[in-house]
Structure 1
């Protein structure tokens, strides 16, 4: 089997952009005498999302509410699982929440509340997606539903994709359900993720994967059935409603950062080179949305400022609003793009238009 060509970013002159940007960001933290990790506001957010999630789960298991009330709480539980992923797990897995590794490790475990595995995510997201953003064949995060959803003009077109701007949003509701039952297993046992070797894992990670998945199934399928006076189909409906609510939140926020009009899907040359510097590549493949919205910043955990996150993944997202002006000005100084949609709905509309455009035959 032929060894895949290792991808390289080759535009050396552009490297001065990131060097300058890092100096300016470092100077900001030094002048303000701030840590790039979590502050009091960040810890308050973490406690709020984790506490609300535990409260909703406890209220459902109490059995003191009507079936309709429990269904609504199940949907709220799913949404707060997504918010925990955005606001707590994501920063912790990147090592951005705290300067102490053990704190990040403990908070990374909050990812199990989503039914997801932090070790697998670290490989697919931290390593692959952050390095090879939006590069077909390398970044599997842009492979939303292969064969069903087309987001890149170089992908083969299929007749049913002319309707993808409608059915894509239905598929997004299945995001977390697929994660719980399929994605982590598939990625863990896949020999390569994109062109990145994924064939060797520590033995303990095999045990953790199966043990935590089993624990999730017990907490959300077995235990509710045992303690609540509900039928199996009511349990299935509640579980499905929880994951559809979680899935649509996860799916939309993930797509609005990289799969909107203006973002690039670069193809390496025959030598495996992307002819631009890595940081410049991040600017061309990433877009912010609703950057001035406090609501978006609170619930999306800084993922609405995805440019700042991709350039500084080890900086806690609570600092991204302050970094935005620095990144934007530095990009302007180096004549590089800075993509953003002013609101959540303008980004959503842009994503819809891209799906519609890519759904047409070439």
Structure 2
């Protein structure tokens, strides 16, 4: 598939004009910036300082193997939370009105072992434009061939069990990022069907230097400093990333791969039968939108609808604009997909994986995905 995609500017595009006007009016009436406020800065500092303290405690040699393992797991969770709460907003330009602040905080992505430049291409450009479109949005390609999400992909015998093995696979997401994914994406000529521009020379340096420093801080220094065997250090590194990967994988998948979300197939000319904003509503779902804990941990990614429609608005404001988005969607008779809790979203994801992997339902899956509407 090499045809460039285009969204159909139907009369429904009036939805986004109306919505954007209402959201802009909210910030004007409240006399507040759509960027970070004090609560957002406090949360960012909490995760960044917590990450630094956990790393220092780990290297202090004051804990035995089990204590060190507990610190490593917690460090992995904090790394994921930095990705959600600091890096993500900054790389979207949503944290601050000052570009240099966003660049600085966006570099916190290196703390996850990931490359911010590659992320901005794969996520900001490709995923946010071509959300859930098979062959274009590589964020939904969990493990090509092993996990079936595209209704047009052939069913294989092992897909029958994908609802059992896919969620544990998410634990490998962070390791893949650190050891493989960024290198592969950086040197690919196409990401999905998007051809990125030639990379600046400085980004080659940033990629390899950033990775090298991460390996030094999380493998070499612990091997030199800690009173642990080499295999214990490697095991701790592995388990830290399994914890980090599971948190990252679950949060991202529960926003797009649940019952009710669609996986649109463009026509022969590359047209998607929706305006861009309508496409975002059909392919994205919120989970646990009323949970303060979910909002604190997930960095607003539990309100993915608001994020996809307004990626340059800091996530600290999503609770305030959620009612505006929901009401406007209902006025235009458009879906607004929500799972009330993390658990309900997880079970919905599980059921969708099972449906996509069952041979006897294979011919019905496409209709299921296109027709299911959960308002």
Once residues 272 and 355 of structure 1 are traced to their aligned partners in structure 2, the CA distance between those partners, rounded to angstroms, is: 27
Once residues 152 and 282 of structure 2 are traced to their aligned partners in structure 1, the CA distance between those partners, rounded to angstroms, is: 17
- SS of the residue 1:197 aligns to: coil
Q: 1:165 aligns with which of 163, 166, 172?
A: 163
> Which residues of 2 match residues 1-362 of structure 1 at below 5 A?
4-198=2-196, 200-361=198-359, 362=362
Shift, 1:157, TM fit: 1.1
Once residues 74 and 145 of structure 2 are traced to their aligned partners in structure 1, the CA distance between those partners, rounded to angstroms, is: 31
Task: Determine if contact 1:150/1:161 at 8 Å carries over to the other structure.
Answer: yes
Once residues 318 and 344 of structure 1 are traced to their aligned partners in structure 2, the CA distance between those partners, rounded to angstroms, is: 19
Once residues 79 and 209 of structure 1 are traced to their aligned partners in structure 2, the CA distance between those partners, rounded to angstroms, is: 23
Task: Determine if contact 1:190/1:199 at 8 Å carries over to the other structure.
Answer: no
Shift, 1:14, TM fit: 1.3
Shift, 1:30, TM fit: 0.1
Shift, 1:152, TM fit: 2.6
- Name the counterpart of 2:373: none
Once residues 112 and 331 of structure 1 are traced to their aligned partners in structure 2, the CA distance between those partners, rounded to angstroms, is: 37
Task: Determine if contact 1:191/1:199 at 8 Å carries over to the other structure.
Answer: no
Shift, 1:170, TM fit: 1.6
Shift, 1:66, TM fit: 1.2
Shift, 1:199, TM fit: 5.5
**Once structures 1 and 2 are overlaid, which stretch shifts more, 240-249 or 192-201?**
192-201
Once residues 61 and 316 of structure 2 are traced to their aligned partners in structure 1, the CA distance between those partners, rounded to angstroms, is: 37
Once residues 326 and 155 of structure 1 are traced to their aligned partners in structure 2, the CA distance between those partners, rounded to angstroms, is: 38
Task: Determine if contact 1:74/1:239 at 8 Å carries over to the other structure.
Answer: yes
Deviations 1:130-157 (A, max 9, x none): 0000001110111010011112322221
Count of residues paired in the alignment: 360
Task: Determine if contact 1:75/1:242 at 8 Å carries over to the other structure.
Answer: yes
Deviations 1:90-146 (A, max 9, x none): 000000000000000000010001000000000000000000000011101110100
Once residues 11 and 269 of structure 1 are traced to their aligned partners in structure 2, the CA distance between those partners, rounded to angstroms, is: 15
- SS of the residue 2:176 aligns to: helix
What's the RMSD between the two structures over aligned residues?
0.8
Shift, 1:281, TM fit: 0.3
Unaligned runs of 5+ in 2: 363-375
**Once structures 1 and 2 are overlaid, which stretch shifts more, 180-189 or 161-170?**
161-170
Once residues 29 and 247 of structure 2 are traced to their aligned partners in structure 1, the CA distance between those partners, rounded to angstroms, is: 37
- SS of the residue 1:258 aligns to: coil
Shift, 1:295, TM fit: 0.2
Shift, 1:231, TM fit: 0.8
What TM-score results when the alignment is normalised by the length of structure 1? 0.98
Once residues 358 and 179 of structure 1 are traced to their aligned partners in structure 2, the CA distance between those partners, rounded to angstroms, is: 26
Once residues 123 and 339 of structure 1 are traced to their aligned partners in structure 2, the CA distance between those partners, rounded to angstroms, is: 27
Deviations 1:168-191 (A, max 9, x none): 122111110000000000100000
- In the TM superposition, structure 1's runs of 4+ consecutive aligned residues that sit over 2 Å from their partners are none
Once residues 156 and 196 of structure 2 are traced to their aligned partners in structure 1, the CA distance between those partners, rounded to angstroms, is: 30
- SS of the residue 2:286 aligns to: strand
- SS of the residue 2:254 aligns to: helix
